Amino acid sequence: MGRGELAGRKAGTRSMNPLFVIAGYLLLLVLLGIAASRYFSGTSQDYFVASRSIGPFFLAMSVFGTTMTSFALVGSTGEAYERGIGVYGLMASWSGLVHSAVFFFVGVRLWAIGRRHNFYTQIQYFRARFDSDWLGYLLFPILVGLVIPYLLIGLLGAGAVIAGLTAGMFPETFPSTGGAVPTWMTGMVICGIVLSYIFFGGFRGAIWANTFQTMVFMLTGVAAFYAISGKLGGIQAAMSAVAEQAPQLLVREGQYRHLQFLTYFLIPISVGMFPHVFQHWLTARTAKTFRLSIVGQPLFIMIVWVPSILIGVWAAGIGLEVAPNAVLGSMVGLIESPFLSGLLTAGILAAIMSSLDSQFVCLGTMFTQDIVLHRFRGMRISDRRKTWIGRGFIAIVVAVTYLLSLAEPRAVFGLGVWCFAGFAGLFPLVVGSLYWRRTTKTGAFVCVLVTAGTWLGFFAASGFGREEVLVGGLAPVAVIFAASAVSLVLGSLATRPPSPEKLAQFFPRNV
């Protein structure tokens, strides 16, 4: 098995059966959204935070599914294909430790405050904590602007996977892509499916779909690992091929710098500022609901990342020559059983869509709650109209994201890291607001502005995600984070502290 077989696969006509399996899976998701809509009580609280009724299993699965996007599958495989096994320590083991820490120290506390004050969004919290309408108006475009690249990596990943799977399948219909389904078509279908099930089911629909899709991609990931290794002559044979053909991928020397490896722990702290994860936290029935997420997250990450990374280095071992984003799709395409390869690709799409849905609903919620309802808070707006405002904004965001995905593609891994760096830069704001009573409105404003400025500067310097940028060996996130933290502290110390009455609303006495 190797280059010859891959070339032959691309040139010949291939079975369309994998696409039928994927179509069946997508139909199942729409039905799930319709089923979730039967439980929809009609209130905006139910549409936006599922009436705060979600239990431990659904919370753990949906939060994990939301944090694992095409970055975890398509991105990690592509990065391992280029730079080897070091990507596991760089992202996965750091994420396991840091995500759980953020859930424990930030998530549970924000859940308690959100429940006490009946918040739906992050911005409602920051506005109330710092007594500032304008902080919300400043944060809204920044958060939306950072979520959009996150959405983009989902669509780019989905397009690349389907293109890899269908290479050579439609040589007459799509000659310009070598017979593969073009990425614009995959993006359109994925957007349409996600939009349909969240339209019907709201956040409850997203959680149900997330949970189902998380189980699907965890199981199919392991199945893909065994099926692909079988095709390569077994796990040990696949690794021997890597040791012979690409031994540099089995070590980190020459692939990553020590300081870069160390400072990457700042990337996963971004989870503490993801607006869609905040919204997931608010759906929890009780604080104890978080426990399964806290313990399970490192293990869930391990289950997904280990196979993805090994498949990436195996691809280099067999001399696969494709773009990093297409590695996983191409490797799944090696499996001869059309049913199995269709199922495994559906699993990859599941991981991608399980993030897109929460992000779309979250943006709709933020627009409805933080802009429209906040701006017209004197007016009586029915629950029905609130949910329709949310749906309308979601449709606009989906359309904008889809159009952006048609522009020049970027590597999923690199774009993901930039997106996470922006959210990680805002992390001092949420920690300061929760644990440092002295944090003030001015400190919050300065922190947000400095973060946005430094992030934009580095992103522009990287050619808008085209190249990797290091600052004296450090990942840019380290500089953004430090600038953010220092500006928060200095801005807060230079201004008058919040009143004791205000602090009493947000700081439990003995916790």
Partner 1 sequence: MLLHHDFWYWNDSRLVFGFLPVGMAYHVFYSMAAALLWLSALLFAWPEELEEWAAASSPGEKQGPAP
Contact yes or no for 415/149 (Cβ under 8 A): yes
Q: Is there binding between residue 109 and partner 1 (CB under 8 A)?
A: yes
Instruction: Work out how close the CB of 188 gets to partner 1 at its nearest, in angstroms, rounded to a whole number.
Output: 34
- Using alpha carbons, list the distances in angstroms from residue 472 to 197, 263, 469, 478: 46, 12, 10, 11
Q: Is there binding between residue 474 and partner 1 (CB under 8 A)?
A: no
Burial of 288 (0-12, 13-18, 19+ CB in 10 A): exposed
Q: Which is nearer to partner 1, 128 or 482 (CB)?
A: 128
> Which residue has 């969004």 as its token pair?
121
* The one among 86, 107, 432, 465 contacting partner 1 by CB under 8 A: 86
* The one among 19, 85, 102, 161 contacting partner 1 by CB under 8 A: 85
Contact yes or no for 504/437 (Cβ under 8 A): no
Q: Is there binding between residue 64 and partner 1 (CB under 8 A)?
A: no
For partner 1 (CB under 8 A), the number of binding residues is 64
Q: Is there binding between residue 486 and partner 1 (CB under 8 A)?
A: no
Stretch of residues binding partner 1 (CB under 8 A), selected from 68-76, 191-199, 459-467, 502-510: 502-510
x/- string (CB under 8 A) for partner 1, residues 277-316? ---------xxx--x--xxxxxx-xx---x--xx------
H helices of 168-290, in order, are: 183-231, 235-245, 258-263, 275-282
Token code pair at residue 329: 């799709």
Q: Is there binding between residue 380 and partner 1 (CB under 8 A)?
A: no
Instruction: Work out how close the CB of 503 gets to partner 1 at its nearest, in angstroms, rounded to a whole number.
Output: 12
Of 151, 123, 128, whose CA–CA distance to 369 is shortest?
Answer: 123
Q: Which residues pair with 54 in a beta bridge?
A: 284
Q: Is there binding between residue 43 and partner 1 (CB under 8 A)?
A: yes
Q: Is there binding between residue 231 and partner 1 (CB under 8 A)?
A: no
Stretch of residues binding partner 1 (CB under 8 A), selected from 208-216, 244-252, 397-405, 425-433: 244-252
H helices of 367-411, in order, are: 374-375, 383-405
Contact yes or no for 486/428 (Cβ under 8 A): no
Token code pair at residue 161: 């996977």
Of 125, 47, 142, whose CA–CA distance to 394 is shortest?
Answer: 47
Q: Which is nearer to partner 1, 75 or 179 (CB)?
A: 75
Stretch of residues binding partner 1 (CB under 8 A), selected from 40-48, 213-221, 347-355, 483-491: 40-48
CA dist 227 and 195 (Å) reads 32
Alpha carbon 498 to its chain's center:
34
x/- string (CB under 8 A) for partner 1, residues 114-153? xxxxxxx---x---x-------------------------
Of 20, 317, 1, 380, whose CA–CA distance to 166 is shortest?
Answer: 20
Q: Is there binding between residue 502 and partner 1 (CB under 8 A)?
A: no
Q: Is there binding between residue 72 and partner 1 (CB under 8 A)?
A: no
Q: Is there binding between residue 247 and partner 1 (CB under 8 A)?
A: yes
Token code pair at residue 261: 């490896």
Query: Which parts of this chain interact with partner 1 (CB under 8 A)?
Result: 43-45, 85-86, 88-89, 92-94, 96-97, 100-101, 104, 108-109, 111-120, 124, 128, 235-236, 238-239, 243, 247, 250-253, 258, 261-262, 265, 286-288, 291, 294-299, 301-302, 306, 309-310, 369, 373, 505, 508, 510-511
